[in-house]
Structure 1
């Protein structure tokens, strides 16, 4: 499509240089519905980004919007810290009845603050408090957030460098297949744990993503996750699963670890838990770990009542009958088939793909190709971003509610972008 360059002067003169997504997508967006965004000139863009995974149910989902508007129109509480409110009660009851109880989970629910990194910080703090130890083990290419504690267990060198101080008390271990299958799983990790001369302080916990989104769509095998859970049990370490981007149905089941049949000690959830893009984060943990003193971890925006409203509406609308999981897996098969076709049609590019549910990535030997593909896709009306430590992976993250026709439209645009961005 032909796009007139928008006037970006106020963003360039007033807003900080730290801005990023707006550089990749030089448009001024005005409205959005479902899987489409529209700029102020009326150009339409199909969204395979979904708010970095915060919009699993699409933009301005009508069911969630109606619940939110009704709540606001009756002057429902909008700010309540951690006070008891009707909106919080409705969310907790719905989350317990729709998500926790059917999965035989008795985890307590904590509202640590509005973002994913707040959830990670509280999880790390709680693990250290419970175990009385400082060390946390994370994995290569992990991403857990931008605050200091979260950065200490994040792998990306560029993001870590932004801290400006040493990031301590975190130890990285190889993620699944990091060594290309040449070494048995956890052989190095377990050897360090059992050797008193290894120099590894006994960890309080291990934090892991089942699928590393920002790290390049690296998918952990179910057997690897089960072996990790077993290792944590044997060596008295808590298992923290960061489900901030991959939870809320992104990989199929509501929690991304369900396929592996494990039950983590601590789980962090954010992004799409509100369903509407409103800030909300949860830290879930087994009841015996609830050793907090009142007010020991708090925050002004730890109780986002409008987000409670849309979150409860999303759970009621999509997670009662198992249909959302089946639909996501079907859409995932559609993506997988299309990506296989793209690879076949472009043999000289040497690309390969990986993913689960509705999170997929395409990688090429030419590490700059992903960026070119995403730029060309934008020109063609598709929003898609890169991921990986060198932005070498094209990352697909469409809404779970996307129709087969919309998904096919976006995959056709992607195929064209791959052809034309060589």
Structure 2
């Protein structure tokens, strides 16, 4: 079975119409966008599907929009395929999507955080005073040297923002300084691409957003990881959810170590990747990595077939059922705001599910029928507590049993 890495795109991947095809075909995608509309208190769906590009590109809109489109795609992916990710990584904003999809951050919290993050980042610089530029074909040292040459002080700063791949680096800073870098490199025949962003991300110019983002992050609680997420700052997996606040605040003004993140996963035996969300930016960045066996993207219904043909699906087994129960527990919308009831009916059963999975992994044993029944019972408690409709509960359980080929083990299983 191939080890699979999930990749979540960052800002700049937005476009009008993103997420619409999934929204129209899958109930779980519609629920995701509707939940975002409710949490953000404006019609994000309309902005994504038919809004103005200038409005969508604004940082405080683009960030929750891309997060929502990515989470919707992830939920469809888990519903339709048998997948057990080995790692996940997200590029800049995409790290929030990765953390949400692994269960470390609740979707509603992530929406509020990235909306606030976008506002803080937008306010950190005067309009049109910041820009980002992708540079193709130069080494790290060559790009760093150009940035050092052009930067004359805090009023004219340009630094490396993203180490994207072996031949693509992104610089960020004051617009005038970025323009000078572009002119110098263009004169030498170096290819550059201006990014569709509205602020100089991952630079010291973001320092003023630090405290506000930290406060927003500290106001939330965080859960366990269903599978490891690679940090943009360290290019290694989070060892604990306690590092979420520090990593995501530091990420504001530190470069994204994307090349090293991909290399880490390759070194751990991940050779198949799925980009989950709008466009194919991250899939395209994988070109040139000799150890990448296959890479696919998922943002449209027709791409399900291509993923199946690539043979990336996990083999059906009991562990797959437990993983699906955890994924459905995370992805199903909550409509119960009784905190005490939520703790006993959702949090405790979810933790028991995660503990069961971890114990089986540590002991390297397959789950028994009783343990699988226990997992289904824990999920039933979670869905009932979240006030999920009986119809949707039946749909979710049918998907789990079908996608893990375990129907025959539980022929009498029903939602009461």
Fold agreement, TM-score > 0.5? no
- Scaled by the length of structure 1, the TM-score of the pair is 0.25
Which structure features the higher share of helix residues?
Answer: 2
